[in-house]
A and B are shown apart, each in its own frame.
Chain A
């Protein structure tokens, strides 16, 4: 499907303060159809940004425009085409998945027939057909998460905001969801916030890194990886050497092998003579950038 390039969401000098605490400051972003992977450490301001884009919270200053219309002044046009999966969402435990989705469909303004068809399709999509009539209170965490995903997709959203969507999903469901996101992204804007960098790596067409309320980086994954080219190293170390290496370098991964520990390090200079240059991945990029902001080793 061809991208719907008429869809644009943009923020201008967006700031949010909670009782004097600056959660987000002068945030500028413009998104068109595709998947934006939103990365950042805890407390960086990701959830605040997403809540403002999802019209839950109003900004202290700044504007959010949806296809040129001010969302803060008039959120309704965006709400009717918005799908939102919060990180810590819950359900009504005494309702079944079918009833809960019917309820969500109604408050999203969907008509009865359309809602029924969509719910049926989504229950298949998230693999909950067999459990659809059971009370949600008896669902596992992963099953509830899939109900959350289904409700976010109910109204065929043009803007889909998902916060840690793969938490609690088993590996198979996680891959399934990643593929689903990729399929969806052609015709809508998807904002994916997660700490699982591999989820972003496999789906995002764009990456934004937020740190301490500021947008630090906005680039295509390829650009970021290119920037790290030649700065990631691997070599075998002993268990005894590891604590000292952790103090000296930014270690982005370790793997226990038969002959010791394979250490992966992000560093401009070769960390030791036996270190071999390897291809960087997004985790290297992310850790490196966050470490720089914290004044850590790179």
Chain B
């Protein structure tokens, strides 16, 4: 009973803290927008090339669930994975550490809170699905058929995502940019998993539900249109206006207890992960988590009795208090700030980070051009992430905004200096890319490189300033990097895409950053 009360309050306080934030309201708005996209057919499911089911409750419910499971499993993780960090940041964690609440109870409480946040989002999508059935009017509303996929596929998967978010936060090095990148690949892994043949594991199906649904839908479509060749089931594909669909009736999934148990066993796996992570969770111990930098090493004082008074005078001389500025700043104040910003971006990296950066650049210069361009260059661009994700939000993160914003020309000097420092750091860390393009006479490639060197730090600055945090850039950049430089999606590859577009975008983002910073300074 006592444990249940603890869990209830842990989850409730955490949930209320999040649910009352602007960030949560923005997320709700984004989810409602996603519901609209499902409603108007922008996000949908279909069998390639042009087969779809009647818009009955089962089809719309399934369509919504598959959209949720593919998109919210990524964005939902980034939304909720802040519950332990919040306790570290606010300092509430060190009070919690002194209470009798156990590691496991604390983590389960946070997990429940994460689940509640994700469930609210799923609930909104469920409501959007009801509205869609009524708006489409192709079949009467059947709440049971509509909600079945939500309970069987979305909720257990969200429970697993909520658990991942907590587990990642229990590992100090997975809390920041690296964790966000690692999770992106976990998400890719699950997407790839859903495309595999799961016949060998009849009990445990992949968590998204793609395999189960596509098997059932395909069977129904093949029965309706025998002798026709159908492609794979597409989720979230953009329906071209005017597409003539061949429509069949899919009454819904024949849910067996095996499927339900199989899907909910993913949730159970989540609980298992939470309990496992309680083993290594440091419970806010600064000596284990590196939450506090060690103080200067104390010299061992010579022991003496308190009564043994010394008479030796200590001569103190006041330091000279002016001038205060660097030599560089004396030449030009902007250069002084630029140098300081550049130093803050690059300083404090561990030796292995520099070693890998150097290794990447050497590898770029020493491998064949095609391999360098195809694989190494994208990796080098991802490697920049932890450096650039500090841009625009360092003041908030280190609580120096009042000092920085009250200094001379925070918008016209400090912000442009930070921006230019980001560009210089990017150019420095990616220099081998430019050399490779030059040596191979690939001038369009070099132009693309220049565009990226200016665009990426500007994007980091803009997202850092407007969100006052690093996560927005980390999430947007990783996704963009995956579909752009890695998958070479036309128009989205900021490394080899048209530089003029990205330069124009950078100009807009820089103006946005200046406008937003101006608001912050005046606030």
CA–CA, A28 and B438, complex, Å: 68
CA–CA, A56 and B91, complex, Å: 12
Say yes or no: is B294 at the interface (Cβ < 8 Å to chain A).
Answer: yes
CA–CA, A173 and B59, complex, Å: 64
Residues of A contacting B519 with CB < 8 Å?
Answer: none
Q: Decide: A295 and B312 in contact? CB cutoff 8 A.
A: yes
Sample 9 A-B pairs with CB under 8 A, ordered by A number: A22-B298, A23-B295, A79-B98, A84-B95, A89-B91, A91-B92, A92-B86, A107-B100, A298-B309
**Most chain A Cβ neighbours within 10 Å, of B2, B86, B99, B295:** B99
Say yes or no: is B96 at the interface (Cβ < 8 Å to chain A).
Answer: yes
From B5, B17, B98, B299, contact of A54 by CB (8 A):
B98
B171–chain A nearest beta-carbon distance, Å: 19
Q: Decide: A94 and B17 in contact? CB cutoff 8 A.
A: yes
Render A220-240 as a binary contact track against B, CB cut-off 8 A, 1 for contact.
000000010001000000000
Residues of B contacting A135 with CB < 8 Å?
Answer: 20
Say yes or no: is A255 at the interface (Cβ < 8 Å to chain B).
Answer: no
A54–chain B nearest beta-carbon distance, Å: 5
Q: Decide: A57 and B286 in contact? CB cutoff 8 A.
A: yes
From B6, B307, B311, B313, contact of A107 by CB (8 A):
B6
How many pairs of A and B residues are in contact by the CB < 8 Å rule? Answer: 162
Q: Decide: A268 and B309 in contact? CB cutoff 8 A.
A: yes
B399–chain A nearest beta-carbon distance, Å: 11
Say yes or no: is B165 at the interface (Cβ < 8 Å to chain A).
Answer: no
Residues of A contacting B18 with CB < 8 Å?
Answer: 94
Given contacts A21-B297, A88-B91, A212-B298, contact A99 B314 (CB under 8 A): no
Residues of A contacting B90 with CB < 8 Å?
Answer: 90-93
Q: Decide: B91 and A292 in contact? CB cutoff 8 A.
A: no
Given contacts A56-B284, A298-B311, contact A214 B316 (CB under 8 A): no
Interface residues of A in 16-43 (CB under 8 A from B): 16, 18-23, 43
Render B60-96 as a binary contact track against A, CB cut-off 8 A, 1 for contact.
0000000000000000000000000010011110111
- Looking across the interface, which residue of chain A has its beta carbon closest to that of B286? A57
Q: Decide: A297 and B16 in contact? CB cutoff 8 A.
A: no
Q: Decide: B16 and A94 in contact? CB cutoff 8 A.
A: yes
Segment at the A interface, from B7-15, B225-233, B473-481, B509-517: B7-15
Residues of B contacting A294 with CB < 8 Å?
Answer: 314
Render A93-125 as a binary contact track against B, CB cut-off 8 A, 1 for contact.
111000110111111110110000000000000
Chain A: interface size category: 35 or more
Residues of B contacting A112 with CB < 8 Å?
Answer: 5
Say yes or no: is A274 at the interface (Cβ < 8 Å to chain B).
Answer: no
Q: Decide: A108 and B312 in contact? CB cutoff 8 A.
A: no
Say yes or no: is A178 at the interface (Cβ < 8 Å to chain B).
Answer: no
Q: What 9 pairs across the A-B complex have the smallest Cβ distances?
A: A106-B9, A90-B90, A90-B91, A103-B13, A94-B20, A212-B298, A18-B294, A84-B98, A92-B17
B254–chain A nearest beta-carbon distance, Å: 44
Q: Decide: B309 and A56 in contact? CB cutoff 8 A.
A: no
B177–chain A nearest beta-carbon distance, Å: 23
CA–CA, A23 and B298, complex, Å: 8
Residues of B contacting A2 with CB < 8 Å?
Answer: none
Say yes or no: is B287 at the interface (Cβ < 8 Å to chain A).
Answer: yes
A183–chain B nearest beta-carbon distance, Å: 22
From A23, A86, A214, A231, contact of B95 by CB (8 A):
A86
Residues of A contacting B26 with CB < 8 Å?
Answer: none
Say yes or no: is A131 at the interface (Cβ < 8 Å to chain B).
Answer: no
Residues of B contacting A211 with CB < 8 Å?
Answer: 301
Q: Decide: A295 and B314 in contact? CB cutoff 8 A.
A: yes
- Looking across the interface, which residue of chain B has its beta carbon closest to that of A18? B294
- Looking across the interface, which residue of chain A has its beta carbon closest to that of B90? A90
Say yes or no: is B300 at the interface (Cβ < 8 Å to chain A).
Answer: yes
